[in-house]
Structure 1
Amino acid sequence: MAVYNILILFLLLLLFSLSTAQPSADEQTLLLAIKQDWDNPAPLSSWSSTGNWTGVISSSTGQVTGLSLPSLHIARPIPASVCSLKNLTYIDLSCNNLTGDFPTVLYGCSALEFLDLSNNQLSGRLPDRIDRLSLGMQHLNLSSNAFTGDVPSAIARFSKLKSLALDTNRFNGNYPGAAIGGLVELETLTLASNPFEPGPVPKEFGKLTKLKMLWLSWMNLTGTIPDDLSSLMELTLLDLSQNKMQGQIPEWVLKHQKLENLYLYASNLSGEIGPNITALNLQELDLSMNKFSGSIPEDIANLKKLRLLYLYYNNLTGPIPAGVGMMPDLTDIRLFNNKLSGPLPAELGKHSELGNFEVSNNNLSGELPDTLCFNKKLFDIVVFNNSFSGVFPTNLGDCKTINNIMAYNNHFVGDFPKKIWSFELLTNVMIYNNNFTGTLPSEISFNISRIEMENNRFSGALPSTAVGLKSFTAENNQFSGELPADMSRLANLTELNLAGNQLSGSIPPSIKSLTSLTSLNLSRNQISGEIPAAVGWMGLYILDLSDNGLTGDIPQDFSNLHLNFLNLSSNQLSGEVPETLQNGAYDRSFLGNHGLCATVNTNMNLPACPHQSHNKSSTNLIIVFSVLTGVVFIGAVAIWLLIIRHQKRQQDLAGWKMTPFRTLHFSECDVLGNLHEENVIGSGGSGKVYRINIGGKGSAGMVVAVKRLWRTAAKSDAKSDKEFDAEVRILGEVRHINIIDLLCCISGDDTKLLVYEYMENGSPARGLPRRDDGGAPTAPLQWPTRLCIAIDAARGLSYMHHECAQPIMHRDVKSSNILLDPAFRAKIADFGLARILAKSGEPNSISAIGGTFGYMAPEYGCRAKVNEKVDVYAFGVVLLELTTGRVANDGGADWCLAEWAWRRYKAGGELHDVVDEAIQDRAAFLEDAVAVFLLGMICTGDDPASRPTMKEVLEQLVQYDRTSSVAAACRDDSGGAPSFSKGKKDGKGKSSSAGTTAGKMWGAGTGDEESGSFVAHPV
C-alpha cells in the first residue's frame, strides 16, 4: 500500500539521517555495560572498542542516539542500563523473541521518540501508566504481540504521536476512542486484528484530520460508517474490513479525493454500490464478501488509477460495465460468486496490463475477448461455472505468462490452442465439461501438474512425456492408440483416469514405474492382453479396468494391493480369483468374466473352481494343530527371552544417562522403574508411550509422558547417536507456549527415552465424532474450541518454521500429535520425525518416507528432498478434520480426506454440508467453518510452492472470527484461556487474506504481492 510504503520510507530516512559515526569513548563504556547486563546475547558479540557496533546509531559528536536491533533472535529481557544512554531517541527491537510483560525499564529513556517492539511475544496488559514513557514519543509500534485487556487511556498524553500501531494482539477489552481522538498529530493508526469488545467506530476519530492510514479491520466493529470520518481528507487508506458493520457506503467515501485504498470486505454492508464513484485517486477497491446487490455502476470506469477491483461474494447482477475494459491501470479483477450476466467488455486487457482475471460462478456468456493477454502479462484465467461459448482465443497460445487456466463447466468449442501445453509457467489446466477438440503434443510442459479435461472431444494419441504431471483425468474423450510404451516419463502421476476413450493395445509392463500412482481408471476402452503382474505391486487404492478386452488370469500379485475400489468387470478374464480378493468387499468387481471362479468364497457371483480337495477338513485340522504347536513354542521362547531381558535391564540400570532440559525433581531411576506395560497409553511406528506418575505411593507426584524409541540398528552407532543427541538438544531448548515441553532425554546402550510434560485432555481426535480408533466417544468439540486448537497449533508450527534460531520441520503433524492441556490449549507434540533445517527454507534430505498415511504430502513419494511445506500439507488435513469431523483416512471409498475435500469442492454448489453436524449452533459458525475448510484445501495443494507458509496460515486463522471474541468463546466452551495468535502485517501494512472463496492456489500466479491479498482457488 502506498501510504504504508511512504511511512516506511519516512522511518528509513529518519534512521539514515542520523550519522553512524563511532560512539565516543564514554558512550562505548556504556554500551559495553549494556552488553554485559544483557547477558551477552549473540547479536551483540561484535560490540567492543575495536569491533563493529552493530545496530548502534551515533551522532556526529559520538553520542548514541539509536539502537536498531531487529530480527536478531533476542530473547533476554531489556536491561535497565539501556536508558543510561541519555541521548537515546530511537529503539527498534522488532521481530525478536522478547517475552513477558511490557518492558517498563524503558520509562527511564527520557528522550525516546521512536519505539518499535512489534513482532515479539510480549504479553499481559499494557500498564495503566504507560505515559511514563517519554511524552515526546512520535512513533509507538506494539503490533503483533500478545497484549490483552484494555488499551490504557493514558495513551492520550502522547500528544506528539504521529504513528500508533497496536494491531494484531489479543486486546479483548476496550480502547479509549475519545483519548485516541485527541492525538491530533496522528498520521497512522492501526488497531486491527484484535478481539475488542463490540462497538461502533468512535466518532472522535473524525478529529484526526492528519490521518493518512486508518486500519480497523477484524476488531468487532458494529454499526454504520460514521459521517464524522468525512473530515479525514488526507486519508489514502481506509480499511474497515472483516467486521460486523451494516448499512451502505456513505457518499463521501466514494467521492474522497485522496483515497487510494478502500477495504470494506466482509463487513455485512448491503444495498447498492453508489452510482457516482469519483474517488479519483483510488487504486485498490475491495468491497468483497458483503451483501451488495444491484449492478456495478458505470461510473466505476472513472477510477482511472484503479489497479485492483475486488467485488467477489456479493449479489451483484447485470453486466460488467464496458468501461471496465478501458481502465488503464487495472491489473487484477475478481468478480467471482455473484450473479453477473452478459458478455465481457469487448477490449478487456487491451488498455491495461491485465494479470489476474477471476469471474467464476456467475451467469456470464458470450466469447472470451481476444485482448485478454494483449499486453503479455496475463497469468490467471478463472472463468469456470459460467455460460461462455465460442472458441478459446487462439492468441492465448502466445501468452506464455499463463500459469493457471480454470475454464470448466462452460460451452467452449473448437480446438484448444495446442501451444498452451508447452508453457513453462503453466501448472494447472482445468477445462472439463466443454466441447473442446484438438490433440495433445507428445511432450507436456514440465511444470504442468494437473490436467482435468474430461467430457470434451479431444482425440489423437496420449502424451508420452509429462514429467511434472500428477493428476491427469481425460475421461469421455476420443483419444486412441496405445498407452505409451515407456511410462517412466509419466512417473509422477498420482491419478490417471482415461475411461471412456478409444484406447487399444495392452497395458505396458512399464506401468510399474508409476510408483506414486494411487488411482488408475482405464475402463470403457478397447484394451486387450493380460494384466501385468507388476500392477499388483503398485500403491493403488482405486483400480478400474472394466469394459475392456483383457484376457488371462488375475495375477496372484494382486494379493499385495490394499484397494478401496476394484472393478475388473466385463472383460474375458479366467482362472481363480486370488484368495485375498474373495470377500464381500469385491462382490461386484468381477461380473461379466465367465472364466473366473472362486475357491474360498462362492457367494461372490462367481462359480466354484473345479477339482477342490475332498480331504479339505483333514488338511485344515493338520494346519490348525501345527499352528497351535508353533504358538505354544513361540510363547515359551518369548517368555524366556523376556526373563533374560529383564535380568539384563536390572544389571544395566547404572548405565543410563539423563540429559535434562528443564529443572527437574526426579531422576532416571524414577522413570525407568515405572516403564510397565500397564502404563502404556500409546504405540506407534517409532515407539511406545507411557503415562508415569513420578511421585511415590500415596502421593500425587508429577505425571509425565515417556516415549520409548524403537531401536533402528543392530547396535548403537556413535555417529548417529551424536546426531540424535544434537537434534534432541535443540528440541529441548525450544520454549513456546504451543509446543510441548521436552523435559529430558534418558539414554541407555540400546534404548532412548524422551520425557515430556503430560497433556491430560489428549488430542483433538477424541472430540471428533467420526473416530477411527475404536475408542469410546466423547462429547464433540464445539467450533470455538476447534478454532482455538487450530490457532494454537498453527502458532506452534509457525514458531518452529520461522522463529527458531534453527528452523525445525516436524514431518509428522497430525491430530494425534496435537495435545490439549486442562484448559484445552493446544501444543505440538511428538518430534520423533522432526528434522532441523540447516537453513531457513532449505530442503531436507530424507532416506525414508516419514509421517502418517492420510497426512503425507504427495512429494514424499517422488522427491529426494522435502521442505517445511510437508508440515503445511499435514496441518491442512488437520483443518479439514476439525471442520468436517471426518478422519484423515477412514479406510472407505473416500480413502484420503484431502482428496475427498477436493472432489466435494469440484462437485460445485454450497459447501455448508461439509461442516460437521455435531457442532452445536452450527449455523452461527457456518461461514467461518467453511472458510477454514477452504484454507485446509489450499494447504493441501499438490504443488509445495503453492501452499502458504505456516506464518500465512496463522494470519488467516486469527482472522476467521466474525461471531464473537474467540478468546471469550474458548473460555465459555472449555474453561480455558484466550487462544488468539500473533499475526503479522504484510509489507504493505494490510493483513494477508485467503478469503472464503474457492479460487486458485495460494498466491501462485496471483501476482498480488502489492495488495497482500491471497484469494485462492485450491487445486
Structure 2
Amino acid sequence: MFLLFLLIVGLFSPSKSDELQILLDLKSQLEKSNTSVFSSWTSRNSVCNFTGVVCNSNGLVKEINLPQQQLVGVLPFHSICGLQSLERMDFGKNSLHGILTDDLKNCTRLQVLDLGCNFFSGEVPELSLLRNLSFLNLNNSGFSGKFPWKSLENLTKLGFLSLGDNPFDSSPFPEEILKLHRLFWLYLTNSSITGKIPGGIENLTQLENLELSDNQLSGEIPLEIVKLKKLWQLEVYNNSLTGKIPVGFGNLTSLVNFDASQNRLEGDLSELRFLNNLASLHLFENQFSGEIPQEFGDFKNLVKLSLYTNKLTGSVPQKIGSWADFNYIDVSENFLTGQIPPDMCKNGKMTDLLLLQNKFTGNIPDSYSNCKSLTRLRVNNNSLSGVVPSGIWSLPNLSIIDLTTNQFEGSVTVDIGNAKSLAQLFLSDNLFSGELPYTISHASSLVSIQLSSNRFSGPIPSDICRLKKLNSLNLNENMFSGSIPDSIGSCVSLSNINFAQNLLSGEIPDSFGSLPSLNSLNISTNRLSGEIPVSLSHLKLSLLDLSNNYLVGPVPDSLNIPAFRDGFAGNPGLCIRNDENSQRCLSSSGKSHHIVRKFLWCFVAAILVLLISLAYYLIVKLKQSNLESPLKQNSWRMKSFRVLSFTEREITDAIKPENFIGRGGSGNVYKVVLANGKELAVKHIWPSKSTDQKSYRSSSAMITSRTFRSREYEAEVATLSAVRHVNVVKLYSSITSEDSNLLVYEYLPNGSLWDRLHTCHKIKMGWEVRYAIAVGAAKGLEYLHHGCDRPVVHRDVKSSNILLDEEWKPRIADFGLAKIVQAADGGDWTHVIAGTHGYIAPEYGYTYKVNEKSDVYSFGVVLMELVTGNKPIEAKFGENKDIVNWVSSKMRSEEGLVDVVDSTISEDQKADAFNVLRIAIRCTARNPAHRPSMRMVVQMLEEAEPCLLTNIVVDKEGVRSANSKA
C-alpha cells in the first residue's frame, strides 16, 4: 500500500528532468540576448547549478533571479509556472517584451514577482490567485490599459507594491490598496491616478515609503496622513495639490525625504520644524509664504534643500548645513533677506549655492573660498556687496559664477586662471574695478564672459583668445582702454562681441574679419579711429554697431544695408556711397573731378537712350517669361538677418521651374547658386491672393493665411532669425512684395533624412551615423524648446524637415512656420491643425492646444524611423496603423523587438539601436505628461552613446563609420 502511495505521488509530482526541460525552454526563448548568463544552463548540469537559479531542499527550483542581464525575448509563463515550487521570479531591468498571460495565475506559490523596467505590453491580467505574493514590482514595465485594481484585495500578504511609470488608464486612487495592511512600500508615481488622496490612507500604518508623484491628484494632503508614523519617504511632486501642510505633520518624525514640489500648496512651513531627521526637502514651485523655520539650522542630517519659486520671506537659518555633508541649497526666486549662511560647505561636499532673485545683503562669506566641491555659484539679483573672497575665482570644479546685479566691488584676482572648469563668468551690473587679469586666458573652459556695467579699466588681455571655446565676450559699459588686440581674430568660436561704451582707441583690427562664427559686433561709443576694415564684409552679422567713434572714410559697400545703417551714426568722417540721405563720399581734387563728373553725366545721358530702348524690349520678353515664372514682377523689400553676399534680384530671378528642388509645408523650395558659387535654399511662401482669408492644403498642414506683409509676420520672422544653433538651419533674409514672400536659407547639400532613409536617394547608414543625426536633431529641438527667450514649438517635426550638411550633421528646418503664418492672421496658432500624418501626436484628437510635448512625440517617430528604417506609414502596418502601433504590436509578438531593428545595422550594434528605440517609445507615450522633455531626451540619448565613437566616412556603399577609437 505504501509503495502504491509513493507511485501515485511520483506520477503527480514534477520531476527534475521536467524542470530541466522548462529551464532549457526558457533559455531558448531568450537566446537572442547578449549575455553569458546562460553558459551554465546545459543538460550536463543540474538545474541547481544554473546561474541565477536557487533550489529548495528537495532539489526543485525555488527561485529564478536574472535581473539586469540584458535579456531580450518573450517569457514563456505557461512553462515557467510549471515549476511548482517556484517562489521567486525576478526578471527586472531587462529588455523583455510580449504580454503577461493568464498562465501566470498558475504560479500560485509565488511570493516575489519582479518584472519591472522591461518592455511588456497590453493589460495586466487578473492577479487574485497569487495570494502568496509579498513583493510585486511592475514598475516601468510597459503595461497599459485598465489595471485590475480589484484583484489586489486578495493579495493581503503584499508588503511591497510598485506599479508606477506605466501608461495605465486614468482612475481614482484605488480603494483596494487601502485594505493591504502589510504594505510598507507603495510606488504609484506616474500611473494616471486622479482625484484626491483618500483619508483611508491612514489604514496603511506600516508604510515606510509612499510615492504618488507625476499624477493628476488634486485637493489637499489629507489630515489622516499624519498617522503614518513609520514614513521615511513621502513624494507627491508634480500634481495639483492645494491647501496647507496638514496640522500634525510634524509628528512624522521618521521622515527623511519629503518632496511636494510643483504643486499649488500654500501657507507656512511651521509644521516641518519638528522633522529633525530630514535629509532632503523639496518644496519648489509652490506658493508657500512666511519664514523658513529656524529649526532647520539644527537638522543634523539635512543635505538637500530646494525651496525655489515660492513667496518665502525672512532670513535663511545661519546654522543651516553646518552639521552634515551638505550638498546643495536652492532658495531662488523668493523674497528672502539677511545674509548667506556661512557653514554650508563646512564638510567640503557642497555642489550648488543658488540664491538668485532674492533680497540678500552682506557679502559672500570667506568660508566658501575653499569650497572645492562647488560647481555652481549663483547669487545674482540680490543686494550683496563687498569684495568677493579671492579663493572663489579659482575653485577647480566651479562651472558658473553668476554675481550679476549686486553691489560687489574689488577686482577679479589673478588666480582665476586656475578655474579649469569655469564655463560662464557673469559679473554684470556691479562695482567691480581694476584690470582684467591676463590669467583669465588660462581658464580654458570659458564659454561666456559677461562683465557689462562695471568699472573695469586697463587693456583687454592680449591673449584672451587662448580661450578656444569662448562664444560670447561682453565688456560694454566699463573703462577699458588701449587698442583692441589684433589677436582677437584667433577667437574662432566667438559669436558675440560687445565692447561698447569704453575708452578703447586705435583702429578696428582687420583680424575681426577672420572670425568665422561672429554674429554680433558692437564696439560703439569708444575712441576708435581709422577706416572700417573691408574684412568685416566677410562676416555673417545680424548686428553691427560702430556708432559714436572717430571713424573716417567710406563704408564698405557690402555693409551698406538698412539693417546696419544706424550703426555708422556719430562718425562725422564716415561717408556712404550713393546715399542721398547720408554724407556722400567726395574726392579732395575738386575741380578736375567736377570736369570728370560732367563728362560722366553726358556719357550717362547717351547710355540712357540705349537703355530705354533695351528696357522696352526686355519688358516684352519678361511678360512672356512671367507666364512660366511663379513670381510676379513687383517691387521687392529685403530684410537681412546676416551679412549678405547677394541682392534680392539675384534671388527673385532664380525662382523658376528649373531650380525647383522640393515642396515644404507652406511653399515650394528652390536652389539658388550665386555668381560667387555660394548655394542657397529659397522658400517661396504660397501667396495670399486677397486680404480675405483663404486656405491652402499641403501634405504637411492646413495653413490659414492672409497677406504676409503684416507687422506680426515681420516680427515673427525676426524672432526666428535670432535663433542661433548649430543644429537649426540658418535664415539669411526675407524678401517680400505685395503678393509673395521669400525666405532665404542656407543650402544643405545632402538633402533630408527622409530622402536618405526612404527614397531612391537612400543610402546605407551605419548606426553611429544614425545615432549622431538623432543626437544633433534632438539638441536642435532642445534649443528651440529651452534655449530661446520663449519656447518655439516646431509642430511639424519629421524626417523630411531634418536636413543634412556635407558632413551629415543635422539641421532642424521649416520650424514654426504654421505658427508664423497664423500669427499674421491674428489668431491663436495653437488652434490650427498642423503636422504630418504619422507624426501627429494623439492629443490632436481631443485638443488643439498642443505644446512642446507634441514635438517630442513627433521626434519619437523620427527615432523609430532611424532604428527600423521604416516610414511612419506603411501598408505592412495594417489599416489605420502607423509605426508607433506597429512597434507596439511587435512587442506583443513572438518575433520580438530585436527583429524591428533595420537589417542593415550590424549585429553588434543592434543593442545600441535598441536602447534608442526604448527612448522612442517613451517619446511616443499616448499621454503627453508621460513623455520626457527634449532636455531629458538629449540626456537619455547621450547616455545611450554607442560603445565606439567613430568618424563618418562616405564611400560608394553609403555613409559608414571608420577610424574607431575607444
TM range (shorter): 0.5 to 0.7
Q: 2:503 — aligned with what? A: 502
The gaps in structure 1 that reach 5 residues or longer are 1-22, 598-606, 639-674, 690-702, 744-761, 811-820, 829-834, 845-867, 872-948, 959-976, 985-991, 995-1000, 1004-1019
Following superposition of structure 1 onto structure 2, how do residues 197-208 of structure 1 map, counting pairs within 5 Å? Answer: 197-199=194-196, 201-208=197-204
SS at match of 1:357: strand
Q: Does 1:571 align with 2:571?
A: yes
Q: Does 1:367 align with 2:367?
A: no
* Contact 2:173–2:193 under 8 Å retained in 1: no
Q: 2:144 — aligned with what? A: 147
* Contact 1:55–1:69 under 8 Å retained in 2: no
Q: 1:553 — aligned with what? A: 554
Q: Which amino acid aligns with 1:724?
A: I
Q: Does 1:384 align with 2:384?
A: no
Q: Does 1:482 align with 2:483?
A: yes
Going from structure 1 to structure 2, the CA distance change for 1:827 and 1:125 (only over 3 Å counts) comes to closer
* Contact 1:38–1:78 under 8 Å retained in 2: no
Q: 2:229 — aligned with what? A: 233
Going from structure 1 to structure 2, the CA distance change for 1:688 and 1:363 (only over 3 Å counts) comes to closer
Aligned-partner Cα distance in 1 for 2:283–2:861: 33
Going from structure 1 to structure 2, the CA distance change for 1:196 and 1:74 (only over 3 Å counts) comes to same
* Contact 2:320–2:344 under 8 Å retained in 1: yes
Q: Does 1:614 align with 2:613?
A: no
Q: 1:452 — aligned with what? A: 450
Q: Which amino acid aligns with 1:981?
A: H
Q: 1:981 — aligned with what? A: 930
Alpha-carbon offset, residue 348 of structure 1: 5.0
Going from structure 1 to structure 2, the CA distance change for 1:349 and 1:529 (only over 3 Å counts) comes to same
Following superposition of structure 1 onto structure 2, how do residues 153-232 of structure 1 map, counting pairs within 5 Å? Answer: 153-175=150-172, 177-199=174-196, 201-232=197-228
Task: Output one character per residue of 1:122-162: Cα deviation in whole Å (capped at 9) or x when no partner.
Answer: 555444x2324564352222336362445522122222222
The gaps in structure 2 that reach 5 residues or longer are 1-14, 588-596, 630-659, 672-680, 684-697, 701-747, 775-794, 801-813, 834-842, 872-879, 888-903, 941-966
Alpha-carbon offset, residue 729 of structure 1: 14
Which of 688, 699, 724 is the aligned partner of 2:763? Answer: 724
Alpha-carbon offset, residue 412 of structure 1: 1.2
Going from structure 1 to structure 2, the CA distance change for 1:773 and 1:37 (only over 3 Å counts) comes to farther
Deviates more, 1:434-443 or 1:150-159: 150-159
Aligned-partner Cα distance in 1 for 2:136–2:24: 27
Going from structure 1 to structure 2, the CA distance change for 1:151 and 1:523 (only over 3 Å counts) comes to farther
Aligned-partner Cα distance in 2 for 1:368–1:223: 41
Task: Output one character per residue of 1:77-115: Cα deviation in whole Å (capped at 9) or x when no partner.
Answer: 756444444454444555566667544443344443333
* Contact 1:68–1:90 under 8 Å retained in 2: no
Task: Output one character per residue of 1:853-899: Cα deviation in whole Å (capped at 9) or x when no partner.
Answer: xxxxxxxxxxxxxxx9xx9xxxxxxxxxxxxxxxxxxxxxxxxxxxx
Going from structure 1 to structure 2, the CA distance change for 1:790 and 1:276 (only over 3 Å counts) comes to closer
Going from structure 1 to structure 2, the CA distance change for 1:120 and 1:539 (only over 3 Å counts) comes to farther
Aligned-partner Cα distance in 1 for 2:38–2:598: 84
Q: 2:856 — aligned with what? A: 794
Aligned-partner Cα distance in 1 for 2:567–2:44: 74
Alpha-carbon offset, residue 358 of structure 1: 1.1
Which of 818, 839, 844 is the aligned partner of 1:766? Answer: 818
* Contact 1:359–1:382 under 8 Å retained in 2: yes
* Contact 2:302–2:321 under 8 Å retained in 1: no
Going from structure 1 to structure 2, the CA distance change for 1:436 and 1:622 (only over 3 Å counts) comes to farther
Q: 2:269 — aligned with what? A: 273
Q: 2:594 — aligned with what? A: none
Q: Which amino acid aligns with 2:571?
A: N
Q: Which amino acid aligns with 2:764?
A: D
Following superposition of structure 1 onto structure 2, how do residues 903-922 of structure 1 map, counting pairs within 5 Å? Answer: none
SS at match of 1:330: coil
Aligned-partner Cα distance in 2 for 1:679–1:319: 57
Deviates more, 1:88-97 or 1:296-305: 88-97
Alpha-carbon offset, residue 429 of structure 1: 1.1
Which of 96, 103, 106 is the aligned partner of 2:104? Answer: 106
Going from structure 1 to structure 2, the CA distance change for 1:435 and 1:337 (only over 3 Å counts) comes to same
Aligned-partner Cα distance in 2 for 1:290–1:416: 37
Identity value in percent: 23
Q: 2:54 — aligned with what? A: 59
Task: Output one character per residue of 1:745-790: Cα deviation in whole Å (capped at 9) or x when no partner.
Answer: xxxxxxxxxxxxxxxxx99753666558999989447999577563
Q: 1:470 — aligned with what? A: 471
Aligned-partner Cα distance in 2 for 1:609–1:289: 76
Task: Output one character per residue of 1:697-726: Cα deviation in whole Å (capped at 9) or x when no partner.
Answer: xxxxxx999xxx99889xx99xx9998135
* Contact 1:55–1:68 under 8 Å retained in 2: no
Alpha-carbon offset, residue 356 of structure 1: 1.1
Alpha-carbon offset, residue 460 of structure 1: 1.7
Q: Does 1:294 align with 2:290?
A: yes
Alpha-carbon offset, residue 383 of structure 1: 0.9
Higher relative contact order (CA 8 A, sep 6+): 1
* Contact 1:523–1:548 under 8 Å retained in 2: yes
Alpha-carbon offset, residue 437 of structure 1: 0.8
Aligned-partner Cα distance in 2 for 1:842–1:147: 25
Q: 1:329 — aligned with what? A: 325
* Contact 2:107–2:130 under 8 Å retained in 1: yes
* Contact 1:806–1:837 under 8 Å retained in 2: no
Q: 2:25 — aligned with what? A: 33
Q: Does 1:535 align with 2:597?
A: no
Aligned-partner Cα distance in 2 for 1:433–1:608: 57
Task: Output one character per residue of 1:288-346: Cα deviation in whole Å (capped at 9) or x when no partner.
Answer: 22222221221112211100112211211112222326444332111111111122235
Aligned-partner Cα distance in 2 for 1:59–1:348: 49
Q: 1:874 — aligned with what? A: none
* Contact 1:367–1:388 under 8 Å retained in 2: yes
What's the C-alpha RMSD, in Å, of the aligned pairs? 5.6
Q: 1:262 — aligned with what? A: 258
Alpha-carbon offset, residue 475 of structure 1: 0.8
Q: 1:1010 — aligned with what? A: none
Going from structure 1 to structure 2, the CA distance change for 1:185 and 1:805 (only over 3 Å counts) comes to farther
* Contact 2:26–2:75 under 8 Å retained in 1: no
* Contact 1:280–1:303 under 8 Å retained in 2: yes
Going from structure 1 to structure 2, the CA distance change for 1:162 and 1:523 (only over 3 Å counts) comes to same
Q: 2:952 — aligned with what? A: none
* Contact 2:400–2:422 under 8 Å retained in 1: yes
* Contact 2:476–2:499 under 8 Å retained in 1: yes
Alpha-carbon offset, residue 685 of structure 1: 7.9
Task: Output one character per residue of 1:649-698: Cα deviation in whole Å (capped at 9) or x when no partner.
Answer: xxxxxxxxxxxxxxxxxxxxxxxxxx999999865589999xxxxxxxxx
Going from structure 1 to structure 2, the CA distance change for 1:62 and 1:615 (only over 3 Å counts) comes to farther
